[in-house]
């Protein structure tokens, strides 16, 4: 009985304590279908500072149905991130919270959290990079290989030879498993708070999501397709200036924000809507 009481007290007190938590400076609140999440408990215990300052988060806060949940990391790790991502990592229709979590001695990994049995709990994480001060940046979550299940795309060490890694989580295992990797990409500039430069879109119009990624020089953009368990690249788009902001699809056009306040537009090479229109026209003419 002695061990049961403190546990119950902890569970009951956490939601109230969470309200008083100090939010991560500069951190944002993610919001989707009734779920909100943000970082709290600023800490300097990880002296890395790849995101402008050396203040990271020690806690993750989630809010659902007017209730606040909190998860405190142990002292061996922090969240080196700005805003958590709300994603359906395993395709079951339920949202998970995707975070960037460095261990003080083993470097970063991605970690998923969710609300289970009225508690915010860690669900799964991938293997950390293995050395301190090594960071990674999630690039997107989608079904990139067309097998009907989502994958998590990550750019590992975007500042020192970035590697695109595709991960899969089965929804049960505590481990997020690696499926494939390919080097040569960068989705972040040191010191920048812009983490979402990479874009997920169906670039070639085959119905399967693709990634548009800056190359390591961050002046070239390249579409990356997943064929089987291998990545292939499309034609490179040379911007001749550094890509500084998030890529954005507007209809059939890709807007690329560049250094100096410029925006370059790339036309998608293949337009499914246009093809459908042409087919319709051809059918009408053949009648």
Q: State the residues that interact with Ca ion by CB under 5 A.
A: 88, 90, 92, 94, 143, 145, 147, 149, 151, 202, 204, 206, 208, 210
CB of 38 to Ca ion, least distance (A): 19
| C-beta closer to Ca ion: residue 88 or 242 | 88
CB 269 within 8 A of CB 278: no
Q: How far is the CB of 263 from Ca ion (least distance, A)?
A: 24
| C-alpha neighbours within 13 Å on the C-beta side of residue 250 | 9
- Nearest-approach distance from CB 206 to Ca ion, in angstroms: 4
Q: Residue 44's CB: how many other CB atoms inside 10 A? A: 11
User: Considering the complex, what minimum distance in angstroms separates the CB of residue 76 from Ca ion?
Assistant: 26
Structure tokens at 150: 């989502």
Nearer to Ca ion, 2 or 172 (CB): 172
The residue (of 184 and 272) whose beta carbon lies closer to Ca ion is 272
Rounded to 5°, angle at Cα 60 from 84 and 81:
40
Q: Exposed, middle or buried: residue 109 (CB in 10 Å: 0-12, 13-18, 19+)? A: buried
91: phi then psi, degrees, rounded to nearest 5: 75, 25
> Can you tell me the distance from the alpha carbon of 238 to that of 65, in angstroms, rounded to the nearest whole number?
47
CB atoms under 10 Å from CB of 74, counted, come to 7
- Say how far apart CA 215 and CA 235 lie, in whole Å: 12
Q: How near is the Cβ of 207 to Ca ion at its closest, in Å?
A: 7
CB of 143 to Ca ion, least distance (A): 4
**Nearer CB in complex with Ca ion: 155/211:** 211
Residue 99 or 145: which CB sits closer to Ca ion? Answer: 145
Other Cβ atoms less than 10 A from the Cβ of 147: the count is 14
Looking at beta carbons only, is 132 or 234 nearer to Ca ion? Answer: 234
Nearer to Ca ion among residue 24 and residue 35 (C-beta): 35
Residue 204, token pair as written in the block: 């070639």
Would you say 181 and 233 are in contact if contact means Cβ atoms under 8 Å apart?
Answer: no
- Closest approach, Cβ 82 to Ca ion, in A, equals 22
């Amino acid at each position: 009985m002695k061990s049961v009481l403190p546990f119950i007290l902890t569970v009951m007190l956490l939601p109230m304590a969470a309200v008083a938590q100090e939010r991560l400076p500069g951190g944002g609140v993610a919001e989707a279908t009734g779920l909100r999440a943000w970082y709290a408990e600023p800490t300097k215990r990880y002296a890395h500072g790849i995101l402008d300052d050396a203040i990271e988060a020690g806690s993750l806060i989630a809010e659902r149905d007017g209730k606040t949940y909190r998860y405190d990391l142990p002292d061996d790790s922090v969240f080196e991130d700005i805003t958590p991502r709300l994603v359906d990592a395993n395709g079951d229709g339920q949202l998970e919270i995707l975070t960037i979590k460095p261990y003080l001695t083993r470097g970063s990994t991605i970690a998923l959290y969710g609300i289970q049995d009225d508690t915010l709990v860690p669900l799964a994480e991938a293997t950390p990079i293995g050395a301190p001060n090594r960071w990674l940046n999630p690039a997107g979550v989608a079904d990139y290989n067309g097998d009907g299940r989502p994958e998590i795309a990550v750019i590992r060490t975007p500042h020192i030879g970035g590697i695109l890694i595709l991960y899969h989580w089965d929804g049960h295992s505590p481990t997020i498993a690696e499926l494939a990797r390919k080097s040569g990409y960068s989705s972040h500039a040191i010191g920048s708070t812009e983490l979402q430069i990479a874009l997920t879109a169906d670039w070639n119009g085959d119905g399967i999501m693709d990634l548009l990624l800056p190359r390591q020089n961050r002046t070239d953009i390249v579409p990356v397709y997943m064929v089987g368990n291998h990545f292939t690249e499309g034609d490179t788009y040379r911007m001749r200036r550094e890509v500084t902001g998030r890529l954005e699809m507007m209809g059939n056009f890709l807007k690329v924000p560049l250094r100096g306040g410029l925006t370059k537009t790339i036309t998608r090479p293949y337009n499914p809507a246009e093809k459908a229109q042409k087919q319709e026209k051809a059918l009408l003419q053949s009648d």
